Amino acid sequence: MIEEYFEGIETLLRKTSLAQPASVKYDRRDKEIGFLRGDLIFKDSSHLHFREFVRVKRGQPVYRYMYTFHYMRADGTMIFRYDDADHFPQLPSAPHHKHIGEKDVLAADAPDLESVLKEIDGLVQSSLHLNLGF
């Protein structure tokens, strides 16, 4: 079951427009539980570091023990980060939240890698168009 989830991540990453091949490490803990850690570099040199510790049934997540999706510019400054660290208990979505830049934090539902990649794709496309003078 966790193998199906890992295969789904690989399929998703193959469809993603990256500047370099994805670097992902998969750690199977048992037939339903696994940990993955990845680094992706996009065409505008921005990059995403992500981690998930997840339990799955039939290849779909049923529980995430933890996650983080940390997206940065080429120079390493943070654009956004989704995570579930319990350090903003006042947010209605706690512990789930989204950091915007270095200072702002918003309530946010827990995203999956696919939704984060769609968000990044929109930002990368905008960045590339701006850099090309569109």
**Which residues make beta-bridge pairs with 25?**
37
Q: What is the pLDDT of residues 50-85, one digit of tens each?
A: 999 999 988 788 899 999 999 999 999 999 999 999
User: Side chain identity at 40, as an amino acid letter?
Assistant: L
Structural domain range at position 79: 2-131
* Contact (CB, 8 A) for 54 and 68: no
**What's CA 35's distance to the chain center, in Å?**
13
Number of folded domains in the chain?
A: 1
Look at residue 47 and give its three-state secondary structure.
Answer: strand
pLDDT in tens, 86-125: 999 999 999 999 999 989 999 999 999 999 999 999 898 8
Residue 69 · residue 116 · CB < 8 Å: yes
- pLDDT of 1-11, one tens digit each? 999 999 999 99
